[in-house]
Structure 1
């Protein structure tokens, strides 16, 4: 009969069990030569007889094997040769045999493979439970122990001594990957008496399925090379460089080939995982994604989890990718965190496959890998031209019809590809919720819904040192001379059309930094500086944060710079408008250095200049005293807008604009008289109007001139000015 390869795994297991039966039969015959028939001894296993004692100490020894034992050995040798031939034939024909596969990917020796098959036998046929119980003199024991395994698998004392090391080394392949680590330790139990019990995951793989280990979910997922992937729209050059480099390493001779690890970082949605997925698809390799934020960080559980994950990567011959690496690098690491990280690195050193470490921020890795090349790369936010292409592409994919200028959106929001896609998806839902009618069966994208979705993509902690201001004023509310108003509009246009200038016209290549927008509003109190900041933020539909100077300035050296760094770092994520009021208190003239206080005050001013130039968003500074601002500071600001004290013409417009249309105004209110008679700024006028409204509400009357004059009197008293009696008695 001509031998052929196996058709499936169960046919292979059938031959392996037949071979095991012959080995167990040989073991029984050996024992039978040395001990009487166990069936005649009803107390067997309950005491040690004199004959057994003499046999154990070597007084009774039979050196030669009987004919039946020699015959059994010949049958065993023949069966082993046939199984080896059929396994080789199966491999050539592409038939998947789990035991052969595991032996290959884990590099098991022939003895180790026999141990695995011995542990699997009880899962294939329950008869082995009774057989092992019989051979161990304990029917309550349903699995072989290490002593029995050595007797069955090994053919000589030398082979048995070498095989013992397989179980003695805790870092060995069997102990680490195949044997059950949860088996309870028994007091006084020797190594040879320990049970040979396979891990449940390995049993599942050998018997049934190559699916991902369920207990690893949700921290781990597997992506197969035939999975559908979105295209790479940015950073294609990095993907090509990555592929070429890995191909060059893999094509090198085996003795020159290096193991590789890559540390890639970038903001959420930058495409880190997508880059690795495309790489794996090009090499036709599965990808094992591990979210470290979902892995238990408790020392014992963490080490066990990482070991199981490494085994799973070997099982699937997958590229191993850890995400959220920053959780292993806390800002203030304690001893437990340091030990956990060190153990993580040790486990990775023992893994031979390709490793990717992904993070949202750069981590100064303490890993010094052995025999592995560790490379680093940052996936930066796409430039404005790239962001515009992403907005247009994703909007088209989602079937969105919109009157949105995506060129403007790309200039306002420094979003990663993932953030852009999520913003559009969320905005489509908001627009549908608001029941906007569709055109040509395409959902119409509302501008307000899109901006709302954009703000939800940004997560920052600016509220700790700044206060968010909801913009409530428009261009019609701010009363300024044409020159100042034109400057404000020009500043807004610099944000709206930065994509054209920086990307399309190529100015971005000429500027290493300083691509943000900085403005200084200078003028007396109440002239509209804060209102103008709201107008700018409202026109650009950006968030406005007023920086609380009390949370920024510190008497401790270096703390002010640290606070400023945190503010600009958080704002960079959202492109928010930062509004510093009363900035002359913080950013005054740099003084001559006479002592350490002058020295560090100048450092703080210089540091702010640096951060403002690096910031790509909008910075608005307000001051009442322009002369107190350093000239070098002014040179680096894009727009310096001087707010004049309003004359009577502009005061009249301010008075008129302050009263809402629904407010009841008496006919005796004379705005021209108020503007000409009382020289007060817009902020004071606002206080007067609001106070007079409450006075009128109290009396149940329309707002009269008397209410306004009375409020003016109170307002002037705050600054120490007194209104003459004849000026207010008539009212």
Structure 2
């Protein structure tokens, strides 16, 4: 006769409950031999009779053989169990999903443990079992089977009982860790503990499918049938990863090792995409667990929630991936952080599947995995040529036209592929917002340059504001009055950033330079000669953020603190590709002195450390000083451009005077710029102060800006520095 498989899980549960009823009937008949009619015993549970004592010490099993009725029940139980197994085998061949069989397979449950799960599920399938279990335990308030009753029902002989007790005795066992609810036992003995399935396991057995909704704030599932973006970089790593995993899985079971991978790289480096591609290759789903969100939502139940997440990975047979690993490695770990890290390592050691650990930066792992191979790899930022190709590929994919040289963009912004894609997507939105109505239907979408740079600046997350102040670049090339030589040097410096992709990547110079590919400039000259303005011109021309470093936040009297502050500044700037502007650097980094005491020694260390960080930094560093002679020569040798800002002569001062007044300012005919330039030797910064002060004097008087307002302001400006004008120099006005 052909065996018919189960059509669905509920049909299987129906047979299992029928088999359970037979087992309960057998248990009842065995107990009835001692108490023929338990219902008539009004003192049942209040004292131990002689018959019950004999049963408790096991004499009954030695004195009495099973009668014919028991033998019939045993035969019926064995026949029903065999029939269920045959139907389950047929269901497996037909591809019918049976939750209990699947659960038993993925957690490696024994036959007895599988029966324990069914006992815990019985009260969820039919409430009659609550009363039955209460009756058999002499306590109708106890509606769940305890361990003692579960052993009597699930085990057929004493040896099986003794072996099955370890299921409940070992807290780290599969049943206790993943399937059962852990409750405080108090003074209860092991055998008195109730057997209660975890709610997640009950939900899975009754309605398998989606991930546990309670875990969704902390995790997400990715399935192998999802459409994935193409890998534009690190394809060689993907091929190597697939080959390594395939070879490891092909090893004999006795030599096969569990695998773990530690990947790190900047935001958008493709860590998650690499994992999705390799898991799709092997047809495996992926469970991404955000460790930062685990700490945010369940810090108090950290170990419990991690256990639930690992169980979810096992249920779905998913590769377990932990993201934002750095959340477990704070800069100053306390006792609680160390405890969490230990719990994390213990849980990973108890997990048998493949693990990926993803981080934004390198963390020296304290985890020493047991019977597991741990491999580490950095997903680096693509080089200039790769970035150029990615900019162009994503622009084509998003169908955006742009009057932009992608090589220049790749030189300015050391972006990962993910950051480039997000920048272009955001820039398209900004461009559409700013587009004129009549051009809204134009195809393809035209990308605005200002929108693109705005989107690029939003791709970086940094905390530079803690030790630096942002300066909005407002000046352009036409605003700055400098001799041709200095202007040419500034333009050459900007071109070094714009065309670094051509030189370093296309022409191969990157292979010759291990470091020092950034741009460093030193602006030297008297106060007010245009050093800060030039830094703004450079940042504005390159459309990069400009941050002026607050020296008060950098210098520290404590040994090592200055270096720590510098490290933090350059690390944050590296993420943002910002222009760092250090003003009056001679006050902090002067000539390295002869070591006479510890202060000299550590001052020299600070200078050397700044040189090191400037060489490592791949962005732009601008240093400004009023006294070039105070800067150490070794310092100067490592700077790309040393630009000397001269004190302006009368011709340049006249140009500065003329450029300072905006077109809308009411200017009297008596203003003599040539006279001002020749008569007063003041720098551009002072001229700016004079112009602004004279404008307010004129506004107060309700008249145009006159020479008398300007000369009066000059007099006040010079008085600030202790200079006094002779009466004949200003009395005409």
Question: Which category of TM-score, normalised to the shorter sequence, fits these structures?
Answer: over 0.9
Q: Deviations over 1:69-103 (max 9, x none)?
A: 01111111222222222222322332222111111
CA distance in 1, matches of 2:614, 2:600: 22
More deviation in 617-626 or 292-301? 292-301
Q: Which residue of 2 aligns with 1:348?
A: 348
CA distance in 2, matches of 1:270, 1:259: 26
CA distance in 1, matches of 2:637, 2:55: 101
Q: Which residue of 1 aligns with 2:366?
A: 366
Q: Sort the Cα spacing of 1:669 and 1:42 in 2 relative to 1 into closer, same or farther, 3 A.
A: same
Please tell me whether residue 560 in structure 1 is matched to residue 562 in structure 2: yes
More deviation in 633-642 or 555-564? 555-564
Q: Deviations over 1:38-67 (max 9, x none)?
A: 344455445555654565466777411110
CA distance in 2, matches of 1:90, 1:58: 41
Q: Deviations over 1:694-714 (max 9, x none)?
A: 111121111111111111122
Q: Which residue of 2 aligns with 1:668?
A: 670
Q: Which residue of 1 aligns with 2:325?
A: 325
Residues 218 and 294, structure 1, Cα contact 8 Å, conserved in 2: yes
SS in structure 1 at match of 2:520: strand
Q: Which residue of 1 aligns with 2:152?
A: 151
Residues 438 and 444, structure 1, Cα contact 8 Å, conserved in 2: no
| Residue ranges of structure 2 left out of the alignment (5+ in a row) | none
1:57-456 equivalences under 5 Å are: 62-181=63-182, 183=183, 185=185, 187-296=186-295, 301-436=301-436, 437-438=439-440, 440-456=442-458
**1:631 Cα offset (Å):** 2.0
**1:28 Cα offset (Å):** 1.5
**1:658 Cα offset (Å):** 0.5
Q: Which residue of 2 aligns with 1:587?
A: 589
With normalisation by structure 1, the TM-score equals 0.96
| Residue ranges of structure 1 left out of the alignment (5+ in a row) | none
Q: Which residue of 2 aligns with 1:623?
A: 625
**1:453 Cα offset (Å):** 1.5
With normalisation by structure 2, the TM-score equals 0.96
CA distance in 2, matches of 1:419, 1:116: 48
Q: Sort the Cα spacing of 1:420 and 1:471 in 2 relative to 1 into closer, same or farther, 3 A.
A: same
CA distance in 2, matches of 1:13, 1:423: 54
**1:407 Cα offset (Å):** 1.7
Q: Which residue of 1 aligns with 2:5?
A: 5
SS in structure 1 at match of 2:260: strand
Q: Which residue of 2 aligns with 1:577?
A: 579
CA distance in 2, matches of 1:577, 1:640: 16
Q: Sort the Cα spacing of 1:570 and 1:296 in 2 relative to 1 into closer, same or farther, 3 A.
A: closer
**1:558 Cα offset (Å):** 1.9
**1:632 Cα offset (Å):** 2.0
SS in structure 2 at match of 1:26: helix
Q: Which residue of 2 aligns with 1:501?
A: 503
Residues 670 and 706, structure 2, Cα contact 8 Å, conserved in 1: yes
Residues 34 and 51, structure 2, Cα contact 8 Å, conserved in 1: no
**1:184 Cα offset (Å):** 5.5
Quick one: which of 704, 726, 729 aligns to 2:728?
Answer: 726
Residues 652 and 674, structure 1, Cα contact 8 Å, conserved in 2: yes
More deviation in 296-305 or 330-339? 296-305
CA distance in 2, matches of 1:461, 1:299: 25
Aligned length: 729
Residues 3 and 90, structure 2, Cα contact 8 Å, conserved in 1: no
CA distance in 2, matches of 1:518, 1:553: 21
SS in structure 1 at match of 2:221: strand
**1:431 Cα offset (Å):** 1.9
**1:9 Cα offset (Å):** 2.2
